[in-house]
Amino acid sequence: MKKLAFLAGAAAAVFAAAVPATANDRYATRPPVVVSPDLAAPWIIQLGRKPGVLVSRQTRQQVQPSIFSERRVNRPEAQPDRVQTAAVAPMYTRAEMQRKMDPKYLPQQVAYDGPGKPGSIVIDSHNKFLYLVEEGGQARRYGVGVGKEGFGWTGTHNISRKAVWPDWRPPAEMIERERAKGRILPAHMPGGPDNPLGARALYLGDTLYRIHGTNAPWTIGTNASSGCIRMRNEDVVDLFERVKVGTQVTVL
């Protein structure tokens, strides 16, 4: 019986060798791909899965992208530069992170009789409002976060550049200032939802100041920045689409 089975197998092998395989024949039915859990683990961990648990193609296709994901689709998966430290003080306390934003800081259409011509931006630092001035005594008003004590400023500049999911390179003085508080800032952070500049940035003249989004929306309506004007990501995306390079911005 064993001899018969051997002869049958040999005959099958000779027949297969006699029939040339084409590219279509070779790839008509692909064998399943099995990935070792040890090799897949780093990527599975990034997806929030446990090592050894594979994600099916169908599951990946069902995942809906975030409304703020367009930049992340194409940007390199580079990780922020990090400096190791024994103890890093948190940037915000738990109480601050749980703070609810006052509804008055949500976007609203309001009557406006302040400075600025239609199409320009006026920022009321004291009341934490940004006005996009419109025709007919109207304005679109947004809530903002402004500079901390000692970091506020006033003046007029034009928008010199617009950026989608901007990267962040904190200035040297900010790095040193935060280091003294026990907080270590990266030298560079690529754009993304964890970036302090948020989803969009409007650069003001040749200064270091910007109107930008934020990864800390609970700071809207407060004095929290180093001089930049921060907005909720939803709001800065809306403003970004309504203004162009050259728009005048006045900070009061």
CATH code for the domain in which residue 198 is found = 2.40.440.10
DSSP E strands, the chain: 108-111, 121-124, 129-134, 138-143, 146-147, 155-164, 200-204, 210-212, 223-225, 229-230, 248-251
pLDDT above 90 (res 124): yes
Domain-located, residue 76: no
pLDDT at 50: 39
Are 124 and 203 in the same domain? Answer: yes
Are 103 and 226 in the same domain? Answer: yes
Last residue of a domain, one of 63, 80, 104: 63
Most confident of 26-40, 157-171, 183-197, 235-249: 235-249
Are 185 and 242 in the same domain? Answer: yes
Report residue 111 as tokens.
């009557």
Are 58 and 181 in the same domain? Answer: no
Gap between the Cα atoms of 157 and 227, Å rounded:
14
pLDDT above 50 (res 88): no
pLDDT above 80 (res 4): no
pLDDT above 70 (res 99): yes
Domain-located, residue 75: no
Residue pLDDT, tens place only, 22-77: 444 444 555 554 444 443 333 333 334 333 333 333 333 343 443 333 333 333 33
Q: Taking the CB of residue 178, how many other CB atoms lie within 10 A of it? A: 17
Are 242 and 141 in the same domain? Answer: yes
Q: Which residue has the tokens 């009061």?
A: 252
Average pLDDT, the chain: 74
Domain-located, residue 72: no
SS3 92: coil
Domain-located, residue 69: no
pLDDT at 180: 85
User: Domain of 45?
Assistant: 33-63
Domain-located, residue 89: no
Domain-located, residue 98: yes
On the CB side of 15, CA atoms within 13 Å amount to 6
Are 98 and 47 in the same domain? Answer: no
Are 103 and 187 in the same domain? Answer: yes
pLDDT above 90 (res 251): yes
Hey, which residues are catalytic here? Answer: 212, 228
Q: What is the pTM of this model?
A: 0.62
Domain-located, residue 52: yes
Give the count of domains, the chain. 2
Are 215 and 169 in the same domain? Answer: yes
Are 99 and 50 in the same domain? Answer: no
Residue pLDDT, tens place only, 204-225: 999 999 999 998 999 999 998 9
pLDDT above 60 (res 171): yes
> For residues 34 and 132, which has the higher predicted lDDT (pLDDT)?
132
